[in-house]
Structure 1
Amino acid sequence: MTDITYVRPSLVEARPAPRSTTGVLAWLQKNLFATPTDAVLTLFGALFLLWAVPPLVNFVFINAVGINGTVEECRVETAGACWAYVWSEMEFFIYGFYDMSELWRPNIVFALGAALLIPLLIPKVPFKRTNALLLLIVFPVISYYLLAGGVFGLKPMPTEKWGGLLVTLIISAVGIIVSFPLGIILALGRQSKMPVIKMLCIGFIELVRAVPLITILFMASIMLPLFMPQGTTVDKLLRALVGVTLFSAAYVAEIVRGGLQAIPRGQYEAAASLGLSYWKQMYFIILPQALKHVIPGIVNNAIALFKDTSLVYIVGMKDLLEAVKTKNDTALEWQSGNTATTGYLFAAAVFWMFCFSMSRYSMFMERRLNTGYKR
């Protein structure tokens, strides 16, 4: 029998992938025109973008008046966004009625907050526990005395003068940070075997979730002073902080409860078999797993809370959006057809920047912590 076996002495050069599976056309076919429905939706989306994007770009960039522009340029009929107006009123949008000569105090608060927060968000930076203690305990005390004054020779600055982005960041930061541990406690209390604690937690959560935030702020502004002793007043900012924090805590509690219920029963039994106390079981075994599951929900609640700070005008506080509205109504020297629109665009851009940053960071943490599951 003839041996017809043949072994090639060299490898055949790799051939390029078929054009139908690579390149721009393949990507379009797979992602935009995979089905007739996808094709129709893609065409409608393209038509919408052609209708909406060019006028927006012309208004915001091409025909806009720069930060060095004048009032007369903004009043031209063909003028776009009046960024000169936003630049001239930037201090009011950020600090509200805070005294101009004392702006160094909130600037120090902003700088300290960034210096403590950024290292805490970077996983590889050491001394996380010390950093967290400084940010959550020391920083709020220093910030309060710096902003309010009245000590160490600092000029007193009542909260009625605080406003703009300063108030938005204070209320959102306090609401997000304080409501998180409160929500965890409420979630654990709702699952407690003690009837009194369980009913109190359920009652609080269901009551708060049954009413909108604006109602809670209205109650804090109008009804709360009626229950206080004669002559007692409650600071407006404190009313807003309490209302926003309690409102957010109820939603965080339900988010955390969902994470607790997602943990397999075997994890609870394994934790109990180690002889750990209830709080050690929660701290070391159950909560780390539960919180990892609900990162998207927690961040979603934080983003919603950050946007809901615009409702604090109910208690007389001027957050960023209310500061823009106030200046749009009172800055008569800048009155033009596009002034108000530009102010609201600026506020929308600021809100988007903070909310988008929180969303991107939450996705980063999900990928980092989701080591036990294949995505």
Structure 2
Amino acid sequence: MSDMNANRAFVRSDMLPEQAPPALETGVVKWLRENLFSSWINTILTLVSFALIYWVAQIIVPWAVFGIWDAGSLTECRAIRDELYGVSDGHGGGVACWAVIAERWPQIIFGFYPSDLYWRPILAFALFWVAITPVLFEGAPRQLLVVTVAFPFVAVALLWGNVGGPIAVALGFALGWAIYKFATPAIGQLAGTIATIVVPILYWILLSGYIGDGLSAILPGLEPVGSSRFGGFLLALVIGISCIVLSLPIGIMLALARQSDLFIINKSAVVFIEVFRGVPMIVWLFSASLLLGYFLPEGMDPDDLVRVIILITLFSAAYIAEVIRGGLAALPRGQYEGADSLGLDYWQSMRLIILPQALKISIPGIVSTFIGLFKDTTLVVFIGLLDPLKGLSDAIRATTEWNGIYWELFIFSGAIFFIFCFGMSQYSQYLERKLATDRR
């Protein structure tokens, strides 16, 4: 008996082969069980949701998929529909009449911009993507920053055909750089910074218009196109891009001013931010259209589009300032003390330590504000500009060919807005993941 116990192995000498996980714990089945059928109430809600989606889809999908693309008017579209599907209900139901998109998409995109000059906004839009590439993506060639700096002036020349105006404005930036570079060492940092800001502003208000007109008369230029010809998504992109690019640096300066210990600077920033945030945007749009000219110097009378860009920029900057102020307030006090311990002055600490962290914290709020701003460009319809959603849709429906069509125009415009806004949202999430150093 003892010999049998001596030869018996109590420790396994080989491992069992790996077993496949249970079917309920892997793949699609696991996801469905955990997300859709995790409890009896979730199961009921899932089934009800599927039924609702099916009911909506069986109405919308045939209407959209089997729509008519080749017709010259709504009446012709209905005749084709009746012939193909035997639908005769006296209105535009049954299937979609996408022919209005096929025929009028250039007008929805470009408004009333001259068709023989479409190459100019297309080129400006292409240059815009080249210009923002080194700003948005770290691996882009740094040489493209030349395009980034020159793009605003080139875009204005392309879109409006005004060559002298952008050059005159660029001279103001060159003037500010020259003052900061050469005058600051002689008059001191504070005085030099104030002069760098104030002198170009005075130049732009008092002299740039006359210089721009003189240069336009001398230099060969492109065919001029007035702002009244802008419309559709060209108008939305011009307003949206301009206001986004301009409002961010202004909002940063306002946020820093509101955090300042200097009484006048602090209270001026508070008044500016609260006034613009406390009044609806539509009021500022009407102010831009009707009242802004009374506050500008004599002889300086920008058109409606420029007025709208100015007021929406200031409105958006007030919201951006509060978003960034939240990021500044979220930083621990030790970050400020650490910057002081390194011997950095105010601007160095802000540029190198404080602002990068505050902007990282504020990314969701900043992008959310930008998305709202881009969608709010449709409000310009109330002051007579042809936005893509209401202004252009009404202009197309006012024609005899397409009088009575609605959903197709709204769906097309909404889809384009979704593409741009979803793109901004996705880039925001990419930037958050890239900068999430605390999670690595």
Partner of 2:151: 139
Partner of 2:422: 356
CA apart distance, 1:58: 1.5
Normalization by structure 1: what TM-score? Answer: 0.91
Partner of 1:92: 107
CA apart distance, 1:277: 0.6
1:198 is the counterpart of 2:266: yes
Partner of 1:48: 52
Q: Distance in 2 between matches of 1:131 and 1:294?
A: 27
Q: Distance in 2 between matches of 1:371 and 1:190?
A: 29
CA apart distance, 1:120: 4.2
Unaligned segments of structure 1, at least 5 residues = none
- Residue 390 of structure 2 aligns to a residue whose secondary structure is helix
Q: Deviations over 1:148-193 (max 9, x none)?
A: 1155241111111111111111110011111111111111111111
Tell whether the 8 Å contact from 2:130 to 2:147 is kept in structure 1 after alignment: no
Counterparts in 2 of 1:32 and 1:299: CA distance versus 1, 3 Å? same
Q: Deviations over 1:47-78 (max 9, x none)?
A: 321222221212221x2112x44432345354
Tell whether the 8 Å contact from 1:324 to 1:347 is kept in structure 2 after alignment: no
Partner of 2:130: 115
Normalization by structure 2: what TM-score? Answer: 0.78
What does residue range 272-287 of structure 1 map to in structure 2 within 5 Å? 272-287=340-355
Q: Distance in 2 between matches of 1:186 and 1:150?
A: 31
1:39 is the counterpart of 2:52: no
Q: Distance in 2 between matches of 1:288 and 1:231?
A: 41
Partner of 1:58: 62
Partner of 1:347: 413
Q: Alignment RMSD, CA only? A: 2.2
What does residue range 123-272 of structure 1 map to in structure 2 within 5 Å? 123-127=138-142, 130-135=143-148, 137-151=149-163, 152-228=220-296, 233-272=301-340
Q: Deviations over 1:29-52 (max 9, x none)?
A: 211222344334323322321222
- Radius of gyration: which is bigger? 2
**Please, which moves more after superposition, 25-34 or 94-103?**
25-34
Moved runs in structure 1, 4+ residues, more than 6 A? none
Supply the AA of the counterpart residue of 1:131. L
- Residue 156 of structure 2 aligns to a residue whose secondary structure is helix
Q: Deviations over 1:83-134 (max 9, x none)?
A: 221121111111111112222211211221123334543332231xx43452
The aligned length equals 367
Q: Distance in 2 between matches of 1:343 and 1:202?
A: 42
Identity %: 40
Supply the AA of the counterpart residue of 1:111. A
- Residue 318 of structure 1 aligns to a residue whose secondary structure is coil
Counterparts in 2 of 1:147 and 1:23: CA distance versus 1, 3 Å? closer
Unaligned segments of structure 2, at least 5 residues = 88-93, 164-219
Q: Distance in 2 between matches of 1:262 and 1:74?
A: 60
